[in-house]
Structure 1
């Protein structure tokens, strides 16, 4: 039974350590991602995704990256990379920290190779001195009728490929954390309003935080030459009835609280009004072009701002009033600053001035730190792989009855041979120069 169990484990390990499996999974991920590129995704383009045929929506083509299939493929690919990395670890460690000088000429590195004749002591001293001056760590040993050595520099370059593979796993883990534990949403609200975070429009995830967002002001500022400066929102976080943080945000200058980040995304004009309903004063803010509406309590009347002139000195609002589910307005007109009008005999409406509406993208991504770590690892892996190549030099000296003999010397620099021959030639020339100087 024990042997059977060990056999199953070995079979599973062999399956996930297969390079063929990795290539198949990469191909499938690329295929699925390609479908996600062709079809609008619900979390990025909700309107576009809804316009796609119901068949493709049912098949999940508009939610590829959130589908179980895509996550399964990414999970299997991660397992494949982890198993392959574990399997390669010992070999890379030995190549970096446990190098042994060759025992015979056939074991000398042969990516590039040369032979030198000379006196044993002079050759050995010249090689060790030159390699150490060039940054190599040299290990030598005595063998029958001679000696051998192995030298290495930029040894951390051996780890570049492994670190790059690990970085991919870290990036996937970060993405999964962001999609499963975080959320992404949008809120459009006017100055002077307080909005519970849980009431925002979500495109993915669930809000677990319990605090409110108060908007003090929203501005669309312009420079003296007429060019737009930026959108600015003066906002605060309200928790348990207390203001815990207040900050003015703008594009590229967000606010973060309890892991939730508020990004300035858009701006719209609005109007600030007062509704007088049965001697009750109700403050109302309406967004330009019918972005929101006001329903007077106890009535089936819906008020919208059809258009707003945002001049602070002379604001004007074109309004429309609808009753119930009617598609035609039962009342419409223009209201000026300070003017009061009657709405269907139900309430009075006064225009108090302009107000800004801010569009905020709200996001919590607990995987962002992990993703940054993955990016850093990927960058490190690429630097080590391409700009910090490990160079290994080894050689075997065999002498006859006296100390004169022949040194077989070779080198390698990973899988890339570019520049190795030139570096090796310079090394041989340096050895010959030192040997001649010693003579």
Structure 2
């Protein structure tokens, strides 16, 4: 309900759970407490700088006076550079008219919803996922969240989506996945693409198609044997129904530089550009010109990622090894092997355990607060990403931490877990909680 001072849409917007958690962390830091902050989906410049090449190009463009309005759909050098970038790195051939430049990736997502979705249309999205529930609300759509399973790395499958997409207007996908740090296999994504093509073939001439918004902003950050895949490479017919959302924010630690883009069928791109022209959500001109130079400099990209990706992967591996080490010691925790992005999915299955103060942990929020207070470990529960169940799953983000902080944190975490009392009927191990509490 609203008193009329603001719109019903604005009154109904839910605040960011991550920002609420950030308030807790700021208060503790202000009191001098040591926190290993794994909450922010961002990069600390103290840990990860943007490429030096990009920084120099931005300064040069500013010095050259490139400070006026850019074209609302992006400067032509960058639009051409994005088309070339997609062809060179992904083997995707798109013309310049398919490329729209945006002020970071968020305006791209907003323009997809604003252009393709009418009030009342069904938008299917997996949970956990980032912010789709908010964009559904803003657009007046009917959100249909599909809960994904840990055994599927929290990624949707054709079997989970099959019924949901009947009559839907938009399917929102993200890989590598925020918040989970997992990525589609070619087989799993290919099956989803087949489902989309079959659904569109089933629809009559008067029915609008089902589109896929494919957010791949983390695609250059994959690890181990993981290879990034996309709908159009796997199934070329998907080009008619796929809108890519991408940018430099994550792969180049450039979240504050605010350069993103979408790549889509020309008619869709034209209408998205019209929407954003009225919003004014374009990237700054100097940053656009600098980005055009950078994404065309393959050797610079390779050199930057050689160090940057190694740093991200080392932090993720340290978190994974530490949590799995605690699991091996009998603590009810586990993690999913990191595949991409800057995130690790970790489960703290502490429901029913009692703190030294006598509180019985019953919800993810209580577990989060205990980890923060007792171990100085700041994490984000999956509820912030649309999950309803209190299963202990949390997102751990490594963009603003380092290996030394992680090592010290695990000492505190081990002590905090040992301080918990096991639920009735659960046998404690000497020096640890319980072998029976170990997760499969």
TM range (shorter): under 0.3
What is the TM-score normalised by the length of structure 2? 0.21
Larger helix percent: 2
What is the TM-score normalised by the length of structure 1? 0.21
Structure with the greater alpha carbon radius of gyration? 1
Larger strand percent: 1
